Amino acid sequence: MDEEALIAAAQQGDTTAFNRLVLQYQDIAYTVAYRIMSDPHAAADATQEAFISAYQGLPRFRGGSFKAWLMRIVTNACYDELRQRKRYPHSSLEALYVEEPMPASSLNSPLESPEETVQRQELSCLLQAGIALLPDDQRVVLVLSDVQGFSYQEIAEAVGVPRGTVKSRLHRARAKLQDYLLDREELLPARYRLASGAPT
């Protein structure tokens, strides 16, 4: 059954069809939530809330990109969670000492050696810390674009802003992250450094 048929069945109240959509998109949803919030527990809660909201709001889905529609719900859930965390700052302090969740594909990548996996994990931790320093609106756009590979149009639909705004926010977010990485280039594994001929 293709995605449109699953969506149509889920709109009629078929929970099984909706759960198949959940299985299809839960990795992306959780990864986006974690990259935005930098807290695995809060990201899990936001993801669960997003899927419940998506199920309840599915009758209002009028076609288009289901992934963009779902990511909009996820980012809204993250915004709600972030606002709550700003009211209670202790939760963000806890998040600093939480290790990054395991990659979904670490056990299933035969082309990558264990050492490369560790180096990639280090890179991911450093980048996550840099992304966490960005403002919320720029962080969401950068995660959707550079981490998840969304087009500008999909990001505009997911965030609910014009494409021009996506373009300018992404430009500023990349500039800040670039400066952050250049300042900490020596912390990166050797193969990821700019001076050592990293992939550009």
Binding residues (CB under 8 A) for another protein: these are 13, 15, 18-19, 22-23, 26-31, 34-35, 40, 44, 47-48, 51-52, 55-56, 59-60, 100-106, 120, 123-124, 127-128, 131, 142, 145-147, 149, 151-152, 163, 167, 170-171, 174-175, 177-178, 181-182, 192, 194, 198-200
In whole angstroms, how close is the CB of 172 to another protein at the nearest point?
A: 9
- Cα-flanking dihedrals φ and ψ of residue 101, to 5°? -60, 160
In whole angstroms, how close is the CB of 9 to another protein at the nearest point?
A: 12
In whole angstroms, how close is the CB of 97 to another protein at the nearest point?
A: 17
Determine contact, residues 176/132, Cβ cutoff 8 Å. no
How many Å apart are CA 131 and CA 15, to the nearest integer?
36
Closest CA to 54 of 8, 10, 24, 84: 10
In whole angstroms, how close is the CB of 19 to another protein at the nearest point?
A: 5
In whole angstroms, how close is the CB of 71 to another protein at the nearest point?
A: 14
Task: Please identify, using beta-carbon distances, which residue of 86 and 96 lies nearer to another protein.
Answer: 96
Task: Please identify, using beta-carbon distances, which residue of 33 and 82 lies nearer to another protein.
Answer: 33
Task: Please identify, using beta-carbon distances, which residue of 92 and 119 lies nearer to another protein.
Answer: 119
- Cα-flanking dihedrals φ and ψ of residue 62, to 5°? -110, 35
- Cβ density class 113-125: b for 16+ within 10 Å, e for less: eeeeeebbbebee
102 by Cβ neighbours in 10 Å (0-12 / 13-18 / 19+) ranks as exposed
Query: Tokens representing 175?
Result: 């500039």
